[in-house]
């Protein structure tokens, strides 16, 4: 029987996950189906029960259900526990469900593919919401020299820094306190890009040739990446590689095969470009 996988979210119509996983399955010669399912708010548990009872093998979970999936999983990986959110559920041989979070490792793998250094780097993370919480453990495991979290609402940054300080040098700052500081890598994890906004950043924030990564993506360069380009960044990337990277790690968890991400990123980029022209 064909193994069944799906992504649950709300909204879900524009999810790229079915395309990505079908590409992976074809590449790896795997007999599997992957569908998307619009789940009404408050009905995650019932929908997941129905999916797994009908023989489903694994789920991806996106907005707004990552916390529901966290509670739903019988067991959690260490990184999912730290993230406080689950984006991948995998049915185990003993019939239990393992909850994982592959967002952070997806981003780190993308940076590795791009050839960006991480060890010893001074890293600034903008934002302190769920997206940022999801990447902190994998980021800190790369042994950066320091991680600074800056957020509009300072106490959220402070809470995150407290929650991860056992993993390395991590500190919370306000945007104003960034004045006079320089970073080798700046990651935008705010949702400001979605509305075309930018946090207030000092002019001299970027070390010469710094790398700038936006966890968001779109057919056009995000406002953060436009700012970075105008302020001396040497390397820019948006979050499309992270999207494909998190999917690749989910696929690996389910099928024990690590698919090639680069051709899938390129294909998605071409599709997006066509839509915008």
Which are the catalytic amino acids? Answer: 66
The interface mask with ligand ATR, positions 24-53, x = CB under 6 A, is: ------------------------------
Contact between 130 and ligand ATR by CB under 6 A: the answer reads yes
Spatial contact of 65 and 39, defined as CB atoms under 8 Å apart: yes
Distance in Å, CB of 154 to ligand ATR, minimum:
8
Secondary-structure breakdown of the chain: helix, strand, coil percentages, each rounded to the nearest 5: 45, 20, 35
Contact between 235 and ligand ATR by CB under 6 A: the answer reads no
The interface mask with ligand ATR, positions 182-221, x = CB under 6 A, is: --------xxx----x-x----------------------
What's the 3-state SS for 128-195? CCHHHHHHHHHHHCCCCCEEEEECCCHHHHHHHHHHHHHHCCEEEECCHHHCCCCEEEEEECCCHHHH
Stretch that binds ligand ATR, among 20-28, 76-84, 149-157, 217-225 (CB under 6 A): 149-157
What DSSP character marks residue 258?
-
Distance in Å, CB of 233 to ligand ATR, minimum:
19
Stretch that binds ligand ATR, among 145-153, 222-230, 233-241, 252-260 (CB under 6 A): 145-153
Q: Which of 130, 127, 107, 126 is nearest to 118 (CA)?
A: 107
The site for ligand ATR (CB under 6 A) is made up of: 127-132, 151-153, 156, 190-192, 197, 199
């Amino acid at each position: 029987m064909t193994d069944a996988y799906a992504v649950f979210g709300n909204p879900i119509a524009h999810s790229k996950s079915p395309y990505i996983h079908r590409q992976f399955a074809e590449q790896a010669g795997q007999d599997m189906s992957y569908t998307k399912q619009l789940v009404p708010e408050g009905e995650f548990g019932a929908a997941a029960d129905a999916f797994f009872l009908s023989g489903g093998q694994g789920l991806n979970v996106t907005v707004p259900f990552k916390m529901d999936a966290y509670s739903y999983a019988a067991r959690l990986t260490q990184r999912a526990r730290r993230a406080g959110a689950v984006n991948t559920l995998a049915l185990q041989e003993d019939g239990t469900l393992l909850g994982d979070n592959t967002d952070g490792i997806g981003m780190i793998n993308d940076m590795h593919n791009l050839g960006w250094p991480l060890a010893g780097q001074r890293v600034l993370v903008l934002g302190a919401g769920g997206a940022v919480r999801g990447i902190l453990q994998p980021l800190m495991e790369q042994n950066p020299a320091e991680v600074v979290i800056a957020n509009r609402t300072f106490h959220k940054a402070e809470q995150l820094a407290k929650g991860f300080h056992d993993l390395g040098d991590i500190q919370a700052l306000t945007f104003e306190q960034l004045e006079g500081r320089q970073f080798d890598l700046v990651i935008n994890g705010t949702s400001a890009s979605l509305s075309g906004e930018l946090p207030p950043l000092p002019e001299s924030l970027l070390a010469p040739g710094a790398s700038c990564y936006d966890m968001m993506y779109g057919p056009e360069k995000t406002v953060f990446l436009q700012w970075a380009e105008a302020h001396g960044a040497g390397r820019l990337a948006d979050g499309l590689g992270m999207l494909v990277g998190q999917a690749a790690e989910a696929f690996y968890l389910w099928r024990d095969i690590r698919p090639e991400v680069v051709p899938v990123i390129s294909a998605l980029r071409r599709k997006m470009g066509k839509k915008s022209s």
